[in-house]
Structure 1
């Protein structure tokens, strides 16, 4: 009888622990979802992050977890960032002249950012820029819309 009660107590403790963990996980998952939905406007990005971005006028950016940041497994979580920056017109033209660009469709832009871009924006991509800044190795890409003085970038933090 004592063994059965002790077993029941252990099972109850495990269920309580799992329930508490599940509640914590749900809270964490909700926090992550809220953070991923937010469109940030702080001037976080520099020339080191996005070479050629210059002293941009404004930026809107978002982040997404590439793994499960709520996991109890040790180790960092990688993050994926997308942003749209309105550059100064002279800096957009300088970036345009610095590399050879070709017309392209950019990587899929997240909806909240897409809503901030003119529907008729024409995007350019530069293999020369990518090679000069080793963007494929870092999982980063940059697209330029010189007529709108916009740069769309994707970055990975790993």
Structure 2
């Protein structure tokens, strides 16, 4: 029994995990996103990935795993205009980087993304890293976050 236990632990420490390049499934459920990003209001048309980072090596150390939550969603009409009109925020044109291949077909090619570091900070509460790109013309958001905390994501 002890040998079986040791073999199981060794197998767990040396197995490879599937990464997004290995075919992670694009999710469309809204509830996990709306709990993490309530300041964006009701969402629709979401396409997103939740992937564990740092698990693609053959030997991994047990412990906490960082999770990247990245994707796009439709916001309510006028939501982006309301967010970007806040005088304390400066939004500038900026395109998202490191777009996962699985999401490419769901991200509008003609989007005019804008981003504000102060809005990012409001969204994350300073407790996790994240970037939020908004398209005023389509009322869409593209988000790229690491370990988005439900309790900290109170938004502006």
**TM-score, normalised with respect to structure 1:** 0.70
Structure 2 spans left out of the alignment, 5+ residues = 149-156
Deviation of 1:135 (Å) = 6.2
Counterpart position of 1:123: 113
Q: Which has the higher helix share?
A: 1
Provide the residue aligned with 1:89 in structure 2: 77
Question: How far apart are the structure 1 equivalents of 2:125 and 2:111?
Answer: 23
Residue 145 (structure 2) pairs with residue 155 (structure 1): yes
1:10 aligned residue: none
Name structure 1 gaps, 5 residues minimum: 1-12
How far apart, CA to CA, are the structure 2 residues paired with 1:143 and 1:55?
17
Q: Could you list the runs of 4 or more consecutive aligned residues of structure 1 that deviate by over 6 angstroms after TM superposition? A: none
Partner of 2:47: 60
Structure with larger Rg: 1
Cα distance between partner residues in 2 of 1:34 and 1:110: 8
Aligned twin of 2:152: none
Give the Å deviation of 1:36: 5.9
Change (3 A) 1:102 1:77: same
Q: Matches of 2:106 and 2:126 in 1, distance apart?
A: 26
Asked if the contact 2:26–2:102 (Cα under 8 Å) also holds between the matched residues in 1, the reply is yes
Q: For 2:38 and 2:104, locate their aligned partners in 1 and report how far apart those are by CA, in whole Å.
A: 22
Corresponding position: 1:113 with 2:106 = no
Q: Where does residue 40 of structure 1 map in the other structure?
A: 27
Number of equivalenced pairs: 138
Cα offset, 1:136, TM superposition? 6.5
- Which sits farther off after the overlay, 146-155 or 48-57? 48-57
3-state DSSP of counterpart to 2:72: strand
Residue 52 of structure 1 aligns to a residue whose secondary structure is helix
Q: CA RMSD in A?
A: 3.3
Distance 1:84 1:73, change over 3 A: same
